Structure 1
Amino acid sequence: LILLLRTVRVTEISQADCYVSLWLPTAAIEKCRTKTIRNSNDPVWNETFYFRIQSKVKNVLELTVYDEDFATPDDHLLCTLFDTAKLPVDRTVLLYFKPSSTVSSVRSVSVRSGRRGWRRAQILEFSSLIHKFLLICKICACVCFSNCSCHQDLDMRFGFDLCSDERAFLGKRKKYVASAMKNVFHLQEDLQDHEVPVVAIITTGGGLKSMTGLYGSLMGLKKLNLLDCITYISGLSGTTWTMANLYRDAYWSQKDLDSHISEAQKQATKCKMGCFSMDRMKYYNKQLCQRKEEGYRTSFIDLWGLMIEYLLNDGKDPHKLSDQREALCDGQNPLPIYVSVCVRDNYSTQDFKEWVEFTPYEVGLLKYGAFIPAENFGSKFFMGRMLKKLPESRICYLQGMWSSIFSVNLLQIWGLSHSSEDFWKRWTQDKIDEVDEDPVLPTRPHELRTRMYTPPGTLSSALRGALTDRFSVAQHHNFLRGYQLHNDYFENEHFCQWKDTVLDSRPNELMQNPDHLGMIDAGFFINTSSPPLLRRQREVDVIIYLSYTTGSHTSSLDKACKYYSEQKIPFPKISLSDEDKKNLKECYIFQDSDSPRCPIVIFLPLVNDTFQEYKAPGVKRCCSEMEEGKLDLTSRCSPYCMFSVSEYNILNNSQMIMQALQTAVQRRRQNTCC
């Protein structure tokens, strides 16, 4: 690639020391760069760079201009992204790139190609006011090689379908659900497989309060004989503590829950100061050293996980995520799904987050359809093959990650009092300028537009780092290392369903594949565990939405509804009046009758309404019992009080819950007939 550049820096007193960096990560391991032309506002390069590319992957050439400095880091002036898929074969093309606004940017580029690979001659002009740049290109030869499929040899699974283990589980679970619904609704005949609705429990986080609240809700469903109607339970933050404890028992949902609840009460009300004793500190140090020797990158989140282990147990908990398969072998319990989000440095959670689901079978990133066996999470991978097997993490380390309250940053704190991050984004984000091409080439939907990125100044970059820096993030080996995106990735419907980050149109950075994935509590984005259950393949008919938040109960539901609307994921519209939001009832049902794929949502906020006057549905409190109904749900003193009111709210709204389940059965039958 032959590159010539002319620069005029009228705003600078000193002359520039410019060079250009070329990055095509799909073709070269390292970035290429020109030599530096010193003390010149009119530099010219005549250098050649060779690239051999694979047309099946997304090849985006990044041209970045720097002003070299000796005492300080080089000034990043501008970056231009060009999708090479736009280049036609066997035809020379002359293009003018015209920025839609005036920026300090590339002005002219000339590109030619050789037979064996790409050889480009580029002429770039820069000035403080940019008008256009020129691109001349020609592809002389395309060489195709036939490759046999290697998916069968991989140690990970690619695809958006459910794994074979989950499909087998669903077949077994349907028998429990069909039998339970026949008994509850007094049906004369058994439900056929296609008539059995998929019912899922979704929770919000909230520490010990959400943990005890979920115990109460499950007890209520158990008393109504509806627990066997549930196919999935998803959780985040504190509700994962409940789930992890229950799934130690392979048949927990088939037994009385009193023993589990009594144990949870004992742990929730015990003195917490013991976790800071000298013996515990020695134990923490020993466990963290052992974890580091095993090959894990330890962080404060691992220490937090060990503290959770103490808070929820009397001793060491050897339980692991894959051990929970025993509780699913006959379909005897709902399938647990734990939710987290993957984040990156220098980006707020709003700007970059990727949903991660954990089941006893697999761990996977929803957007890419990339899954690995649960027991291999944390092991080292490269291009789909496991390079080094690490011992599976104990469940306490995952609980620390799923409920990582220490992953907060300043932007998150700002969001507690302000609904938007736009104020800070104006000062800290890259300026993006769309580039118009003249003449306009025939384009295809998967081709990315040419863009120019102007980075913020030094002060803004420092401010951005301070605002987005998190105290601690769980670090696990990246099982996507070595992969690149397909050339048509931007048109993949499954990818687009979860396409919600600022890097989705910058594939080089999106697939930069850091050695480790940073994962945090999903509550830092939207306090809900619903995304994995809205995968089309799970075909969820009814969602029992259990909210245990101490603030606005509708906040997470409203945010989830807005998010799914933007992502075009079927979800009913949430319509609550201001009066309803001020004085919430115990149960609401939301549905969209016009969309057969849209699940019915049963919303159960944790409110103390009729429980103040009734100790059980239809049983009024006597005068001596009225004090027991006056629960302060915002108090931090006794989180165990959440158990009674959450159980009561389920029992008191049994008719609405059963009505929604019956509607789901009818919809299943109607859709089958259609």
Structure 2
Amino acid sequence: MSASKPEKSVGVRIERSLNENEEEFVARRRIAVLQSLNKLKINFSQDEVPNIALLGSGGGQRAMVGLLGSLVQLQKTGLLDCILYLSGVSGSTWCMASLYQDPNWSTELETVKDKIIQRLSSSEVSWTDAFAKLKKYYDEKDEKIFSLTDVFAAMVVTTYVKEIDERTLTDQWDQQSKDPFPIYMAIDKHFKQNNDGDPWFEFTPHEAGYSLTGAFVETSSFGSKFENGCKIKNQPEIDMLYLQALCCSVLADGDENKKFLLEQIKDPTSLSEDECYKVLMDLVDMNLSVLNGNDPSALDESIRTQLNKLNGGKRQMVQAKKLNLTDKKAAKHIFKCLANWIWGRNYNFLHNMKDKAVPSTLLESETRDYQDAGLLVNSPYFSVLRKERDIDLIISLDFSEADPFKTVKKAAELCKELNIPFPEVNIPSEDVKKPKDFYVFKGQNTPTVIHIPLFNVVNCGDKIEEWRKKYSTSKWPHSDIQMITDLMEVAGKNISNNKDNLLEQIHLAIKIHK
């Protein structure tokens, strides 16, 4: 579409209401929830059906596998069909992206589970395929919105999820789906750093946008260039690999990483093609090392060696296959992104719009940077706390590595500041190091919140720390089937051991809903 002849886009919506397609799905899904609860011998009328949201926290591949194990047990206990929304941040979105590849996955979860385990235990995506994907991202995107998230997607996320998923969120979703409605969560970097506005940014099969502000664009148009509500240049819809990277870009906020790289890179445009790619690959490996908690000093030395050759003026050119112009331009642009630490950059669909309901700073910028929501709250509470979603019961699965209560405490703190209904959260001091497997927080005119820590005294006994160390973020990715299935089993116990407790809270939520 020509920039000189913009057409009015019907994709931009500034309203604190649900998308019409989502409303229609919710109405149908509530009928299915009623039927599933009737099977569990809980009988009530259609208007008494509680709206239940299941949340998956961040935690890398640990969260991916933990969420999968939890969902398998929810299906076995008959409770999965009671869930209206499934929302995730960071590593949980890796599980979601895998599940929704299969239409109506919740009715064939055993088969889908086996397929995911088989993939995770297979060999990694080859460097050749990863670089080809990176080049494709660069070729398809405007340089203004190509960022380190594209590099992270192709070179890092693929090592964890073991695939290059080029489908899109709208491709994955069938309006007649029998699965819970998916919500992927990220945050706006500017609002997060400045502690103003609405940082919460959600992606659903229909819309992407700011959850609390109520400013959305059609998901298929996210990333395209807009001016005053008009789409003036189309960009391809982001694919699922990029979305997983965007939702899990924990390095995006790392000031220390940025300082380190700035010390290493002085004049990237003067590197030869071969040196450029050598340094790039070392930087990718260094990012993996930082993510996994490993010592990056060897990679630091390799980078310094390459740059010392440059600084000495006596480079010995290595004979290798020459790269074409596009590859060289892409490499130089990547170094520019590294120097400026640009992550998750996309065109701002609200640019130069005039609407008092939207923060003025959001309307002014041509682009926005998005990153891992776990950098603010490691669970997607604010996607389901939208008033119009009318959630009665939140089941929060916490796969965090450190404090198992940090997510729910932080959510309560922010909700208090923002005047969003949320129950008070009081944790017994003795539970911080020895958490139980089931917590319920309630308040007047608030949703009920169930909080379930992954490792606890019930499923781990007195070996909580052993399990935490065994599945620490620094020890992923795992390809060992036994490691994967053991973690799924431990996560699943948190559901199977608490079936009666979950049913009780669902029953009480029905009474509240009346």
Residue correspondence of structure 1 range 231-270 to structure 2 within 5 A: 231-255=84-108, 257-270=109-122
Tell me, yes or no, if structure 1 residue 402 matches structure 2 residue 255.
no
**1:302 aligned residue:** 150
> What is the rounded CA distance, in whole Å, between the counterparts of 1:579 and 1:315 in structure 2?
42
Amino acid paired to 2:210: L
Stretches of structure 1 that go unaligned for 5 or more consecutive residues are: 1-151, 414-468, 490-494, 496-503, 615-625, 670-674
Amino acid paired to 1:261: K
| Contact kept? 1:240, 1:338, Cα under 8 Å | yes
Over 3 Å counting, the alpha-carbon distance change for 1:610 and 1:369 in structure 2 is: closer
Amino acid paired to 1:354: P
Residue correspondence of structure 1 range 546-625 to structure 2 within 5 A: 546-592=397-443, 595-596=444-445, 598-612=446-460
**2:189 aligned residue:** 343
> What is the rounded CA distance, in whole Å, between the counterparts of 1:403 and 1:246 in structure 2?
17
**1:479 aligned residue:** 349
Residue correspondence of structure 1 range 173-252 to structure 2 within 5 A: 173-187=29-43, 191-252=44-105
| Contact kept? 1:348, 1:411, Cα under 8 Å | no
**1:664 aligned residue:** 509
**1:24 aligned residue:** none
> What is the rounded CA distance, in whole Å, between the counterparts of 1:281 and 1:660 in structure 2?
46
> What is the rounded CA distance, in whole Å, between the counterparts of 1:281 and 1:311 in structure 2?
9
1:60-115 superposed Cα distances (whole Å, 9 cap, x missing partner):
xxxxxxxxxxxxxxxxxxxxxxxxxxxxxxxxxxxxxxxxxxxxxxxxxxxxxxxx
Tell me, yes or no, if structure 1 residue 380 matches structure 2 residue 225.
yes
Over 3 Å counting, the alpha-carbon distance change for 1:315 and 1:633 in structure 2 is: closer
**1:545 aligned residue:** 396
2:61 partner SS? helix
| Contact kept? 2:94, 2:161, Cα under 8 Å | no
Tell me, yes or no, if structure 1 residue 528 matches structure 2 residue 373.
no
> What is the rounded CA distance, in whole Å, between the counterparts of 1:219 and 1:665 in structure 2?
24
> What is the rounded CA distance, in whole Å, between the counterparts of 2:418 and 2:221 in structure 1?
31
Amino acid paired to 1:537: E
Q: How many matched pairs?
A: 419
Over 3 Å counting, the alpha-carbon distance change for 1:162 and 1:630 in structure 2 is: closer
**1:364 aligned residue:** 209
| Contact kept? 2:212, 2:386, Cα under 8 Å | no
> What is the rounded CA distance, in whole Å, between the counterparts of 2:32 and 2:470 in structure 1?
35
TM-score scaled to structure 2, two decimals? 0.75
> What is the rounded CA distance, in whole Å, between the counterparts of 2:173 and 2:215 in structure 1?
20
Between Structure 1 and Structure 2, whose CA radius of gyration is higher? 1
> What is the rounded CA distance, in whole Å, between the counterparts of 2:186 and 2:134 in structure 1?
26
1:132-182 superposed Cα distances (whole Å, 9 cap, x missing partner):
xxxxxxxxxxxxxxxxxxxx9743112111011011001110111000011
Tell me, yes or no, if structure 1 residue 332 matches structure 2 residue 144.
no
CA positional deviation for 1:263 = 2.9
1:165 partner SS? helix
Amino acid paired to 1:587: F
TM-score scaled to structure 1, two decimals? 0.58
Amino acid paired to 1:195: E
Residue correspondence of structure 1 range 493-504 to structure 2 within 5 A: none
| Contact kept? 1:302, 1:397, Cα under 8 Å | yes
| Contact kept? 1:309, 1:317, Cα under 8 Å | no
CA positional deviation for 1:523 = 0.8
1:307-353 superposed Cα distances (whole Å, 9 cap, x missing partner):
35633666542310111321xx22511000011111239x8364676
Amino acid paired to 1:604: I
Which structure is richer in relative contact order (CA contacts within 8 A, separation 6 or more)?
A: 2
> What is the rounded CA distance, in whole Å, between the counterparts of 2:384 and 2:223 in structure 1?
24
| Contact kept? 2:29, 2:84, Cα under 8 Å | yes
| Contact kept? 2:188, 2:368, Cα under 8 Å | yes
| Contact kept? 1:267, 1:311, Cα under 8 Å | no
CA positional deviation for 1:267 = 3.4
CA positional deviation for 1:632 = 4.6
2:193 partner SS? coil
> What is the rounded CA distance, in whole Å, between the counterparts of 1:159 and 1:351 in structure 2?
20
Over 3 Å counting, the alpha-carbon distance change for 1:387 and 1:259 in structure 2 is: same
Task: Percent identity, please.
Answer: 28
2:493 partner SS? helix
Over 3 Å counting, the alpha-carbon distance change for 1:313 and 1:573 in structure 2 is: closer
CA positional deviation for 1:303 = 1.6
| Greater Cα offset, 313-322 or 237-246 | 313-322
Amino acid paired to 1:248: Q
**2:317 aligned residue:** none
Q: CA RMSD in A?
A: 2.9
Over 3 Å counting, the alpha-carbon distance change for 1:631 and 1:202 in structure 2 is: closer
| Contact kept? 1:206, 1:550, Cα under 8 Å | yes
1:197 partner SS? coil
**Greater per-residue strand proportion:** 1
> What is the rounded CA distance, in whole Å, between the counterparts of 1:562 and 1:630 in structure 2?
29
